Amino acid sequence: MRSLSAARAEAVEAEFMLRSLTGSPAADRELLGLAARRIGGGVVLSASRDPIGFLSRALAFTEPVTGELVDQVLAFFRTEDTRAATLQIAPGSLPADWAEICRARGIESHGRGLIKLGAPIERVAASARSGPRVTPVSEADAARWAAVLVEAFEFPREGYPGLMAAPVGLAGFHPYALWDGDTIVGGANLFVDGDVASFNTGAVLPAYRNRGGQTALLAARAAKARELGCRWVVAETGVPVEGTSNPSLNNMLRAGLETWYVRPQFRWAETRGSKPSVRNAFDA
């Protein structure tokens, strides 16, 4: 039975986002218009020049979610000239008057939501029966590793490579590379906050999928989390489209993680002009 609180699971995800973005190169932060603030006990990230609308978001509030709190968040986005953003609030934290709060501020339900998964560390497989080679990412390989993730996620090639490479060498981050011979073909990140490990940013190039790469990346991160004394593992991935499956979800379930809850996503956008497109969050 789950005993790690939803608030703690959300906070680890938010801390991963905050530290990785603020730890990225200054030139890339400037290019994307990155800014961050803690509001209501949560993390609010703004990227006014992000061409795909992926980075601007607010999540992990510990204070009650009220209209006043939402107004503070939206005021920050407006101050940063961010026109649209995603609000990610765990279902147990949504107030009874959430629908009214949304109507008054032009906030709409968006996308299929995200599945929050987790498990005690002892339930997560820390070895793969067989599969491709996985190693920690060295400083020398950081740029190559980041370029592969940018390609696998189909992210923009300006600004994003620096963001993706930022975790290499940062305290609390343990990035891993998936290899085919001497070529990096995938990667993933482990972020550790206290006794909780976050599996995130996992992707494999299309030509190398369905070969056990994601399973190997999960096993490597689980082994490291156990070595570091973590008690819990958490992760997020998208809800599958009806009638389809999500390979990332399937791999994590096979590795021993369990579905804890589905977190709805909400989208706020200014009415002026057209709404920018938005990408979903990282699959693990």
Q: Could you tell me the pLDDT band of residue 70, with boundaries at 50, 70 and 90?
A: very high
| Helix residue ranges, H only, 83-141 | 98-105
CA distance 42 to 7: 10
Q: What is the 3-state secondary structure (H, E, C) of 134-146?
A: EEECCHHHHHHHH
Cα(213)–Cα(250) distance, rounded to whole angstroms? 13
Beta strand spans in 158-274 (E): 173-180, 183-193, 196-204, 232-238, 258-263, 265-269
Residue 3 banded pLDDT, cuts 50, 70, 90: confident
Query: Rounded distance, CA 3 to CA 101, Å?
Result: 30
pLDDT score at 136: 98
Contact criterion met (CB below 8 Å) for 76 and 265: no
CB 101 within 8 A of CB 95: yes
**CA 220, 222, 225, 229 torsion-angle sign:** negative
Number of helices and strands (H, E) in the chain? 8, 13
- What number of other Cβ atoms are within 10 A of residue 70's Cβ? 25
Query: Which percentage of the chain shows pLDDT scores above 70?
Result: 94
DSSP structural state of residue 78: H
Domains of the chain: 6-113+263-269 (no CATH), 119-261 (3.40.630.30)
Q: What is the mean pLDDT of residues 8-32?
A: 97
Give the separation between CA 182 and CA 112, rounded to whole angstroms.
Answer: 38
Residue 272: pLDDT over 70 = no
pLDDT higher for 111 or 195?
195
Q: pLDDT of 97-109, one tens digit each?
A: 999 999 999 999 9
Instruction: Please compute Rg for the chain using Cα positions.
Output: 18
Q: Residue 51 and residue 54: Cα distance in Å, rounded?
A: 8
Over the chain, what is the mean pLDDT? 93
Query: How many angstroms separate the CA atoms of 42 and 139, rounded?
Result: 31
Report yes or no: 55 and 47 within 8 Å, Cβ to Cβ. Answer: yes
Query: What is the mean pLDDT of the segment spanning 252-271?
Result: 95
- Mean pLDDT on 40-49: 98
Do residues 190 and 174 touch, judged by C-beta distance below 8 A? yes
